[in-house]
Amino acid sequence: MTKEIDLKELAPYFKALHCSIRWDIIEILKDSPKSSDEIFNILTESKNNKNDNNQECEGKCLNGRGRDIQKPTLYYHLRELESVGIIESEPKPSEQKRAPEKVWKLNMEKLTINLK
């Protein structure tokens, strides 16, 4: 899906995309859908330490410490990307009697901003 937005609609996308961990999540989901656990494992195993000094996440960004991410932090970032429709989730069937795990996938291929 391609999404086209006007400049006045940019603020929610800027908020959702300002943090490097969210770009990492998009990169992880680029090729195929992944479960929350798969995303978490890829991020915690990542040897690519990114430096993100942005304070907009109120301390929830990784600040370059990929191995220190906690599940609540991951879910926060996933929900921010989902809130603007960049990613979406579907419940993954579970054989156990616990809440179903979510499977996340990219919901758009392209985001176009009209500057005029």
- Residue 59: band (very low, low, confident or very high) from pLDDT cuts 50, 70, 90: low
Q: For 20-49, how does the pLDDT look when each residue is reduced to its tens digit (9 = 90+)?
A: 999 999 999 999 999 999 999 999 887 444
Give which of 15, 21, 18 is closest to 65, Cα–Cα: 21
Distance CA 104, CA 16 (A): 16
| Residue 58, pLDDT score | 57
| Residue 97, pLDDT score | 63
Asked if residue 72 has pLDDT above 80, the reply is: yes
| Residue 100, pLDDT score | 74
| Residue 88, pLDDT score | 96
Asked if residue 51 has pLDDT above 70, the reply is: no
Give which of 26, 33, 40 is closest to 74, Cα–Cα: 40
Please check whether the domain covering 2-114 is classified as CATH 3.40.50.2000. Answer: no
| Residue 22, pLDDT score | 95
Tell me the two tokens of residue 86: 């960049």
Average pLDDT of the residues of the chain = 82
